[in-house]
């Protein structure tokens, strides 16, 4: 329970001050524990941030799965909904979203985080595989899933960085995601 409270406190602080702008002592104060208590669950500040990333990746995967499940299987809408969940997560938690993709140091030695990243990408892969009626390991499925993720990931970062406003036309997420899904998943 304390671990979850600390992760929630750090998550709030990351959103407010960024991953470099908080102290473990402040996180402990917000969680209502002594400044030494976090070190019973985490060896250092970096490990606390990894805990935030791990928890965020779980929440992102669940949101993406829920988005797909809200639409008919194999539909373009199910695929676009995966993307919408991704963009929504970035918009709602931009600090944590940046942390997830910015905290890469040591990931090669973090099989748990690598697996969670693969699971998030797996949601896209499985949605594409269902749409194309192919096995998830099919190279065409993998290629198209990667292209979708690249477009959605870029759009998410452009959105939270307010760069999408440079376009002369309003960019509606759903229309964008449906257009990209349709274009990438059109018959080859």
Please compute the mean of the pLDDT values over residues 34-47 and round it to a whole number: 88
Question: What pTM was estimated for this model as a whole?
Answer: 0.92
The Cα 132–Cα 138 span in angstroms is 10
Burial category of 157 from C-beta neighbours within 10 Å (exposed 0-12, middle 13-18, buried 19 and up): middle
CA distances from 21 to 16, 17, 131, 159 (A): 8, 5, 43, 23
With pLDDT > 90 as the criterion, what percentage of the chain qualifies? 66
What pLDDT score was predicted for residue 22? 82
**Confidence tier at 163 by pLDDT (50, 70, 90):** confident
CA distances from 100 to 8, 11, 34, 125 (A): 15, 11, 27, 20
For 46-105, the pLDDT digits (tens) are: 899 999 999 999 999 999 999 999 999 999 999 999 999 999 999 999 999 999 988 655
> Pick the residue with more confidence: 108 or 9?
9
Contact 134, 141 (CB under 8 A): yes
Considering Cα of 154, then 155, then 156, then 159, what sign does the dihedral take?
positive
The Cα 119–Cα 31 span in angstroms is 30
What pLDDT score was predicted for residue 11? 94
Beta strands of 139-183 (E only): which ranges?
none
**Confidence tier at 155 by pLDDT (50, 70, 90):** very high
> Pick the residue with more confidence: 139 or 27?
139
Contact 71, 130 (CB under 8 A): no
What pLDDT score was predicted for residue 106? 56
How much of the chain is in helix, strand and coil states, percent to nearest 5? 75, 0, 25
Burial 27-48 (b: 16+ CB within 10 A, else e): bbebbebeeebbeeebeebeeb
């Amino acid at each position: 329970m304390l671990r979850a409270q600390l992760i929630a406190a750090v998550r709030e602080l990351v959103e407010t001050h960024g991953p470099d702008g908080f102290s473990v002592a402040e996180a402990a104060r917000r969680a209502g524990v002594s400044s030494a208590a976090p070190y019973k669950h985490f060896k250092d500040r970096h490990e606390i941030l990894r805990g935030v990333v791990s928890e965020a990746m779980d929440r992102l995967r669940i949101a993406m799965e829920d988005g797909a499940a809200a639409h008919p299987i194999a539909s373009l809408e199910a695929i676009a909904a995966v993307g919408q969940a991704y963009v929504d997560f970035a918009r709602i938690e931009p600090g944590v979203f940046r942390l997830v993709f910015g905290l890469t140091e040591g990931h090669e030695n973090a099989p748990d985080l690598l697996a969670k990243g693969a699971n998030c990408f797996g949601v896209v892969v499985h949605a594409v595989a269902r749409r194309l009626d192919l096995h998830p390991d099919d190279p065409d499925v993998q290629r198209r899933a990667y292209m979708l993720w690249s477009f959605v990931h870029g759009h998410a970062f452009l959105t939270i960085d307010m760069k999408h406003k440079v376009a002369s036309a309003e960019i509606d997420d759903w229309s964008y995601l449906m257009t990209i899904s349709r274009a990438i998943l059109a018959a080859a």
